Amino acid sequence: MQFQDAVKKSIEMFLDGKMPEKTAALAESGQLMFTHEYFDLLEEEVLGEPVEKEEEVEDAS
């Protein structure tokens, strides 16, 4: 895997709300500053509008 591909995958994971296991554990315990919530708040603050979150579609079947 090339560095560029790994960067793309990492971005994809982050935008999906996923983090590596240990990093996610640190984020949950409040030891990390730059989490998803931080950037959502930043976007809200900068753009002045709430961040739209995708609603999870539940399977009716």
Q: What is the contact surface with other proteins in residues (CB under 8 A)?
A: 1, 3-4, 6-16, 18-21, 23-24, 26, 32-34, 39, 42-43, 46-47
Shortest separation between residue 32's beta carbon and other proteins, angstroms: 6
Shortest separation between residue 21's beta carbon and other proteins, angstroms: 7
* End-to-end alpha carbon distance in the chain: 38
Shortest separation between residue 60's beta carbon and other proteins, angstroms: 19
Give residues with Cβ within 8 angstroms of 32, minimum separation 6. Answer: 23, 26
Cβ–Cβ under 8 Å, residues 27 and 21? no
